[in-house]
Amino acid sequence: MSAFALLALSTTCAAWTIPPQSVYIDQTQYNVLGTNSSLFRASTGYFNPQNLTPPFFQIFDEGFFTILGDSPSIRLITENDSYAFAHEAPVYLPEKNELWFSSNDGGPLGMSDWYTDNKIWKINLDEAEAGNATLYEVPITPPLEMTNGGTLYANGQPLFIQSGRAELPPTLAIVNPSPPYNSTVILDNFYGRQFNSLNDVKIHPVSKAIFFTDVTYGWLNHFRPMPLLPNQVYRLDPISGAVRVVADGFDRCNGIAFSIDGSLAYIADTGASGGFLGNNATETATLYEFDVDPTTQRFLNRRIFAYIDTGVPDGIQLDACGNVYTGTGDGVQIWSAAGVLLGKIFTASTVAEMIFVGNGRMVVLDETKLYLVHFAAQEHSLDYWS
């Protein structure tokens, strides 16, 4: 069903009018399947009881109406079904109105492996709004080895995290946002040991320390040697250069984010996604929430924030109200700060990352596609250095 056909779904739910490209799912109808038992699905299947054609918004809780506003939209702005060009590491550069991101590193359709790096691309958001999101490759020098995460650092510079490739180490690197796009590595080891394959990175909003996750996906996807460390979360003090572990005990720690005041941390554990070992739905597909110690910034009091019903959680972003957005196996899932599933940007495909590109605007990275979302949500400028 097209987006225009979805307009016909507009109706009234309690005091709310269902907006365009949206459908309300009354969860009480599915608490007991009964005659709807055909909806039974595996963990990799999609919950799409109306059998509508994506993309569209699924509303599970009335709190999602505030996020969507009166006239939300989601539209495809570029695609390439033969190449996973839009995987992770989204960094929005407000002064240039550009979005930078990386292709898949070692995964399906990634065109990268033990011998070949993935690529960094950028689009101009003015062009995207006009319906012509041209991809421009960013010729970073020296080149980065398998970029998988990114955030905005001081002076409007992208900070990228690399998984490494072959014997070349995983790194953290700052990149000049203008030609010649030179890169500067600021970390490439843990007291002499290479990291496994660094995955995601965020800046703490108070201390400005750099926090990042390290996981074994490089080895699992055949572009890194055997791991040398546990799957852990690290803190880098950019002033002293000191690096230390702040959380461990994960199956496969992945995405990371902080609450607006920095008192809470969120970590995605993608244990159910096993790389070449195959998927195992009995493993973790979970967002964890931690208290961040105000003195030591260790992650304390780990608890489940949300379990993802389709695929695994990956990249994490927050909006100005503290709602939590995560890429999953069926699109983007949006949770309230209390851990209630509010709704989904439903694509029926795997989304690793998404990012606000100004207030009321988000880009969804759907591997072989890029979507531009307009809604009422306001960005959480956590990644902007202030």
CA distance 338 to 65: 17
- pLDDT of 276 reads 56
Give the pair of three-digit tokens for residue 75. 């539209």
Give the pair of three-digit tokens for residue 146. 């398998």
* pLDDT confidence band for 44 (50 / 70 / 90): confident
* pLDDT confidence band for 380 (50 / 70 / 90): confident
Asked whether residue 19 carries a pLDDT value surpassing 90, the answer given is yes
Give the pair of three-digit tokens for residue 23. 């459908």
The secondary element (H helix, E strand) that includes residue 317 is strand 316-318
Return the number of other C-beta atoms located less than 10 Å from residue 125's C-beta.
21
Give the pair of three-digit tokens for residue 10. 């507009």
Tell me the one-letter amino acid at 166.
A
- The pairing of strands 16-17 and 12-13 is antiparallel
CA distance 25 to 14: 13
Q: What is the pTM of this model?
A: 0.95
Give the pair of three-digit tokens for residue 308. 């993802």
Asked whether residue 5 carries a pLDDT value surpassing 60, the answer given is no
| Closest of 1, 122, 173, 6 to residue 73, by C-alpha | 6
Q: Can you identify the CATH homologous superfamily of domain 3-383?
A: TolB, C-terminal domain (2.120.10.30)
Return the number of other C-beta atoms located less than 10 Å from residue 60's C-beta.
18
CA distance 76 to 226: 39
| Closest of 354, 385, 92, 357 to residue 210, by C-alpha | 385
Span 154-176, average pLDDT: 97
* pLDDT confidence band for 2 (50 / 70 / 90): very low
Asked whether residue 385 carries a pLDDT value surpassing 60, the answer given is no
Are the CB atoms for 20 and 2 separated by under 8 Å?
Answer: no
DSSP string spanning 104-118?
A: -SSSTT---BTTB--
Are the CB atoms for 327 and 313 separated by under 8 Å?
Answer: yes
The secondary element (H helix, E strand) that includes residue 66 is helix 63-68
| Closest of 209, 181, 186, 184 to residue 93, by C-alpha | 181
- pLDDT of 41 reads 82
Go through 286-305 and write b for each residue having 16 or more CB atoms within 10 A of its CB, e for each that does not: bbbbbebeeeebbbeeeeeb
Asked whether residue 10 carries a pLDDT value surpassing 50, the answer given is no
- pLDDT of 33 reads 79
Q: Return the bridge partners of 151, or none.
A: 159
Dump pLDDT digits (tens) for 93-144: 999 999 999 999 998 899 999 999 999 999 999 999 998 899 999 999 999 9
The phi and psi torsions of 28 (rounded to 5 degrees) equal -65, -20
The phi and psi torsions of 129 (rounded to 5 degrees) equal -65, -30
CA angle, 90 then 92 then 98, to 5°: 110
The set of residues, in sequence order, having a beta carbon less than 8 Å from that of 338 and lying 6+ positions away, is: none
The phi and psi torsions of 381 (rounded to 5 degrees) equal -80, 45
- pLDDT of 142 reads 98
Tell me the one-letter amino acid at 33.
L
